[in-house]
Amino acid sequence: MLAKVGDFVFDLNNKDITSLTHQISLKWNKQKRLGNHQHIQKDGEFEEIISFNGKLILKSVNILKSFEDMAKEAKPVRMTLGTGESYMVVIEDISRSKSGFFKDGKFRYQEYSISLQRYFK
């Protein structure tokens, strides 16, 4: 298991994750001053964003359907990584693109990107 979000498991056997990104954004407020350096002040707490990117090759078009259904509920879910890290997250974005079309309209490749934001109570 690479990651589990809610009841949905991302593994290397059938979800083909190509990258996992964990970003921490610190909030700073900048004020320009004449004849002096900018004044920088911390503005709130940090944000954590976790992103998955993957490419499905000749796989079912519905492999991410249950994940999309979970996202549409718009509720925080538990994410556990294979390293043992565990967070509550909200699903911010899901995007899919299809390419490598056959004459009958089916496609060979489906790339996806999922963005999650850490949820703090």
Residue 75 within any structural domain of the chain: yes
Residue 45 lies in a domain: no
Give bridge partners of residue 42 from the DSSP assignment.
28
Q: Domain of 95? A: 3-19+54-118
Q: Which of 20, 16, 24 is nearest to 81 (CA)?
A: 20
Q: What is the rounded CA–CA span in Å between residue 100 and residue 102?
A: 7
In a domain, 81, yes or no: yes
pTM comes to 0.76
Q: Per-residue pLDDT tens for 87-102? A: 999 999 999 898 888 8
What pLDDT does 59 receive?
65
Residue 37 in domain: no
Q: Is 76 domain-assigned? A: yes
Asked if residue 94 belongs to a domain, the reply is yes
Total domains, the chain: 1
For residue 62, being part of any structural domain is answered with: yes
pLDDT tens digits for range 71-92: 999 999 999 988 888 999 999 9
